[in-house]
Structure formats: structure tokens, C-alpha cells
Amino acid sequence: MSKQPSSYLSSRVEGRLKADKSGNSIFAIEPIKKGELIAVFGGVVYEWETFIHLPERERMLCIQVEDRLFLVPRPIGEGDYVNHSCNPNAGLSGQIGLVAMRDIKIGEEVCFDYAMSDTMAYDEFDCLCGASTCRSKVGGNDWQRPELQKRYAGFFAPHVQRKIDAQRAFERAMSKASKFTSPIKAPAYE
């Protein structure tokens, strides 16, 4: 098997150990403009039933790309260490592209919110990102939060966006249906 990473990482970023030595991440070494491609994730796609039996390290570095499908890096490259933040500066473009949501300055850690890709409870954890918007817990249902749907509009993976669209269609249908039904009144007893 080749040791060449199967993903793409922009020359404007580099992977390195975080200053607090809490783990690896990627950092901007040149300014990155809003909308610019930062990374394209690569690897091997596994179905849920196989994925859950992989070593924890591999599961931690994956990205969910469809319902019950997970992309696991093979081999692991610098670009596979993009961390979560509840106040991200990057978002998804399609299933595997990572783009800048805003201009990113030299020295900034590049992060995205895992709610943009995750719809299953496979990598839930206590969040320590320190953002003012920190949720404290990151889970597979975070994509359902209205404030995240609004904040990350246009940056969700396609399978997540389909779920959001279905959720909104259901809510509209229920709202419309409630306009045509009258509340049931309890019978009056004397």
C-alpha cells in the first residue's frame, strides 16, 4: 500500500502539533480567502457495520459522507487532522471538500463543526473548543439544531442537507395541516 496521502491539502496550510500539545491540527501559513479550497478528504469508504469494528484512532479521523457510510483516511495525512470547533472558520463543499467560510489569517487553526457531516452517534465527545458558542457536547444529532442550520447554511454535506430539507418539509406540512383541523373539544359534563 502506498504511503502517499490520499487527500489534498492546500499549500496555504500545514499540519503540526497544537501549542498546548493537545493533538495535531492544521494551521494557516498564508492568508486564506473566503470560499477557497483548503482540503479534499480521501481514503476508503466503509459501511457502518464494518466501520464500527475499526480501531478507535481510524474512526476518530474519519468523516461521514453519506447515511451509514464513512470515509477513513488511508494512509493518514496532515489534512486528516482538521479538528472540530463550535465556531468554525471552514465548512464542507460537497461530501469531501473543505472550504474557508470566512477569511482565515496566518496562524489560525483551521476547524469545522462536525455537525456539518455527522448524523450518527459514532464520535460523541465533550467539546473543549473554548468558543463563546461552545455546545459543551458534540453529538450526531447536532445538525438538527435550528441555530446551526442557519449559521452553517451552504456548508453541510449533501446527506445532512437532505435531512434538513426533509425536516423542514415535514414541519411545513404539519403546520399546514394544523390550519385545517380544529382542536378537539372535550364534552361538557354537568
Per-residue confidence (pLDDT) for residue 36, from 0 to 100: 98
How many angstroms separate the Cα of 182 from the Cα of each of 40, 156, 170? 52, 38, 20
Per-residue confidence (pLDDT) for residue 176, from 0 to 100: 77
- Which residues are 126's β-sheet partners? 137
Per-residue confidence (pLDDT) for residue 76, from 0 to 100: 82
What is the residue extent of each domain of the chain?
A: 8-177
| pTM of the full structure | 0.87
Q: Please name the amino acid found at residue 149.
A: Q
* pLDDT tens, the chain, 190 aa long: 455 667 899 999 999 877 776 678 999 999 999 999 999 999 999 999 999 999 988 898 899 999 999 999 988 888 888 999 999 999 999 999 999 999 999 999 999 999 999 999 888 899 989 899 999 999 999 999 999 999 999 999 999 999 999 998 888 888 877 766 655 554 454 4
Instruction: State in words which class domain 8-177 has.
Output: mainly beta
Q: Please name the amino acid found at residue 1.
A: M
Per-residue confidence (pLDDT) for residue 189, from 0 to 100: 46
Per-residue confidence (pLDDT) for residue 183, from 0 to 100: 59
Are the CB atoms for 109 and 24 separated by under 8 Å? no
The three cell numbers of residue 134 are 461552545
